Structure 1
């Protein structure tokens, strides 16, 4: 594309460039297909409990029925692996990939804000976005959990619904890289998701490299002011570290009873 003439006011040039970059509006059929892809990604990234394991034939059939696309190809690779595994092996692999490794945790605000006060505010903002759209998350799960974010994107549509995914694209890149390094088949689900988002910029790639090298920001403040969510306070993703035991309660000895001594008369 040839550069715009310098005589065009800066504001006009900016708007023209934005129009060039703007994605064409989806047809109803395309929007429906995109929502199905997002919903399948959400299901395939949930914990493979007995209910999900028993639904593997239906999930595989739904993926096979997708129109040909890069995302459909990635999901087919994942469901092929998923169908061949024993349920117990699926559960162990899921826990190892997503519960015991910080670089492939599914809690997106962690990658952007780490363990800082800003993360608590980001969780509040995300939850408010859901409520403003008339959608309430299931109790017991944080609003930045990737399957929750994907379900919201599928329900609310490509504009505001997918905004949290675009905002956390760098975290998604890091998860995909970590799963690829671990040779986990879950990398295919992240790869499918990334094909639905705008391509990464040079700044995105540099930020991901910095995350790999240094990790997210850190601050000893927990998640306040977000506080508790669901059944209790959220512990940042990673290997569980039990709290330090409380010191034993020291019971002071009882004070001696004052005894009145009468002198000898």
Structure 2
């Protein structure tokens, strides 16, 4: 009888432990951030090869508050959701747009930044609106929300061609070289890149149109099963907003507090 009771007790404790076990991310003591390391100012490599950026600073601060370590892993953007679902990374923290399609595959934190899919042209170009893109060649990053936004727009069928690049920087360089007519890109990224390049060269090169391909919000992407980790991450981000840490990081990278309240 005692043996039977002992076996039952062991089984019960085992089931109980499984029922209250922590997410694997929390258990291993760190989370791995997947990112496109050319996506300035969200996450990119500086002159010394260090990964820096607005999202990088946010992730480091959140990790500290969660008592976890954080690792940054450059990942091909077009396959980054597969990398998350496959366990190669634990979060996507790199200006990731919250979309209905992505919500079917992964979970998101609360939104923390607003953005729009802006249209960038050369300053000397006479394109004035989205409608002027008819019969033009536009560039964008493969697998980005710009890709989805353009494909979903009615003007898509009237474009001459769409060139898809591994990074936004490649697209903007091709625009400057005259190989394409416009680039559709996250406005936050576009304005940071433009300001930096034009300051360096001391001349006006690009122009951002008032028209866009839609407005959106950024969130951190997390696996569907990592609910406890997601709750802990949201808590850390809420605390960072309340005590002004997020605003301080925003001013460092954008010159002002642009974080969603």
The TM-score with structure 1 as length reference comes to 0.23
Larger C-alpha radius of gyration, 1 or 2? 1
More strand per residue? 2
More helix per residue? 1
